[in-house]
């Protein structure tokens, strides 16, 4: 039946990551639209996973962290069971492993009674390994529809006919920040107060901001940079900040719950996402954190050579710049601060176009087509 959907995702809450956030919001959105939704994903922490899953309104099956062959076999079994009971349904794959498994299954199995849809993010469609790249290229031929999360991601997809591509930008759930409570213990620090939300990694670009801080403090003597997210590469960045003499200008907050995250965003001035292309082939496919910041009134500055081109409307909700040029960052901050009320208002308006209530309608349109 066409209203049966299986979402196969490499990530899923309560674990972090944009792919998991997307899969969760997609599952919730389709459930609310009366689709029968099932999810297959990996187990990360059995206790936390069980606690998270017990109140979900759709079924979820987590694959234990066994050998690759065993995990693959279990995923294939789930796909096969879904197909048996839901002829005419849809399998939506998200993440590198699910891309390969679902795509190859569709190619080898053949038939068109079940539609296979791929959500394309970043490194999943742009791996560095030559062998994996060939595998991905082959597996992508099994999907009837490929959904890049940004026009930038779409440009990275090769050997797929353009009429099979349909760009659907990521969305965010405003319910994440529901309620008017503000943690009064969070005080503004810095003028301007700059913030990045995302795992502390080379790809997220916190390194670019820290490298720019010596130049930034010459123009903005009271500038302060707030880093929120999993501290994966914090030690290296702390050493860099110390070497540059800007250690006192940076605060690492670690991962925060939604309540504290909202409080920190509400006292900041500008959101930064000066992302890099990772040596592994990963890149910023879109930028959900940008839209969440916009929703709370923060203009954003992001890398022009990334999926942030779709998340930031340059000159309206923020600015797009070369992340490796501190001069461009300084000029962008000056421009936004000079006309801050306008940028703040427009950032909020911009975010409303990306709430999941609107984004899910585009996925439903795909599910309702016959091709």
The DSSP line for 93-125 is EESHHHHHHHHHHHHHH--SSSEEEEEE-SGGG
User: Model confidence at 2, in pLDDT bands (50, 70, 90)?
Assistant: low
Domains along the sequence of the chain with CATH: 4-171+356-368 (3.40.50.2000), 176-354 (3.40.50.2000)
User: pTM value?
Assistant: 0.90
Cα distance between residue 58 and residue 48, in whole Å: 17
Question: pLDDT per residue over 287-312, tens digit each?
Answer: 899 999 999 999 999 999 999 999 99
pLDDT of residue 32: 95
Question: Mean pLDDT over all residues of the chain?
Answer: 91
Question: pLDDT per residue over 321-365, tens digit each?
Answer: 999 999 999 999 999 999 999 999 999 999 999 999 999 999 999
User: Residue 357: which residues within 8 A CB-CB, separation 6 or more?
Assistant: 29
pLDDT of residue 116: 93
Question: pLDDT per residue over 29-55, tens digit each?
Answer: 999 999 999 999 999 888 899 999 999
* The pair of three-digit structure tokens given for residue 126, joined into one six-digit string: 């742009």
* The pair of three-digit structure tokens given for residue 338, joined into one six-digit string: 């000079």
pLDDT of residue 370: 63
Taking the mean position of all CA atoms in its chain, how far away is CA 49? 20
Cα distance between residue 358 and residue 351, in whole Å: 11
For residue 123, pLDDT beyond 90: no
The whole-number average pLDDT for the span 198-225 is: 96
Which of 51-60, 63-72, 112-121 is the least confident region? 63-72
User: Model confidence at 180, in pLDDT bands (50, 70, 90)?
Assistant: low
Cα distance between residue 248 and residue 250, in whole Å: 6
Question: pLDDT per residue over 265-288, tens digit each?
Answer: 999 999 999 999 888 777 888 889
Cα distance between residue 112 and residue 107, in whole Å: 11
């Amino acid at each position: 039946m066409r209203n049966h959907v299986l979402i196969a995702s490499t990530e899923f809450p309560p674990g972090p990551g944009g792919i998991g956030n997307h899969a969760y919001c997609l599952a919730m959105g389709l459930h609310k639209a009366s689709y029968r939704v099932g999810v297959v994903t990996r187990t990360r922490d059995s206790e936390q996973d069980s606690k998270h899953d017990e109140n979900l309104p759709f079924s979820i099956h987590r694959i234990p962290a066994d050998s690759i062959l065993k995990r693959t076999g279990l995923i294939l079994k789930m796909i096969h069971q879904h197909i048996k009971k839901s002829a005419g349904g849809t399998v939506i794959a998200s993440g590198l492993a699910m891309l390969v498994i679902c795509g190859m299954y569709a190619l080898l199995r053949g038939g068109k009674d079940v539609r296979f849809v791929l959500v394309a993010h970043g490194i999943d469609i742009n791996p560095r390994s030559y062998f994996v790249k060939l595998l991905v290229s082959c597996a992508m031929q099994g999907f009837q529809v490929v959904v890049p999360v940004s026009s930038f991601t779409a440009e990275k997809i090769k050997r797929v006919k353009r009429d099979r591509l349909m760009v659907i930008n990521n969305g965010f759930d405003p319910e994440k920040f529901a309620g008017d409570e503000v943690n009064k213990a969070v005080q503004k620090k810095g003028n301007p107060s700059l913030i990045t939300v995302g795992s502390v990694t080379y790809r997220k670009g916190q390194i670019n901001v820290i490298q720019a801080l010596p130049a930034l403090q010459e123009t903005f003597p009271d500038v302060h940079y707030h880093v929120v997210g999993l501290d994966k590469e914090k030690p290296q960045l702390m050493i860099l900040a110390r070497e540059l003499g800007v250690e006192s200008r940076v605060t690492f907050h670690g991962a925060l719950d939604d309540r504290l995250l909202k409080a920190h965003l509400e006292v900041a001035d500008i959101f930064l996402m000066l992302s890099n292309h990772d040596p592994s082939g990963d890149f910023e496919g879109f930028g959900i954190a940008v839209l969440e910041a916009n929703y709370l009134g923060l203009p954003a500055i992001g890398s022009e050579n990334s999926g942030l081109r779709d998340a930031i409307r340059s000159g309206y909700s923020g600015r797009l710049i070369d992340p490796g040029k501190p001069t461009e960052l300084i000029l962008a901050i000056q421009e936004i601060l000079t006309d801050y009320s306008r940028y703040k208002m427009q950032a909020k308006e911009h975010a409303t176009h990306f709430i999941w209530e609107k984004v899910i309608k585009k996925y439903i349109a795909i599910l309702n087509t016959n091709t």
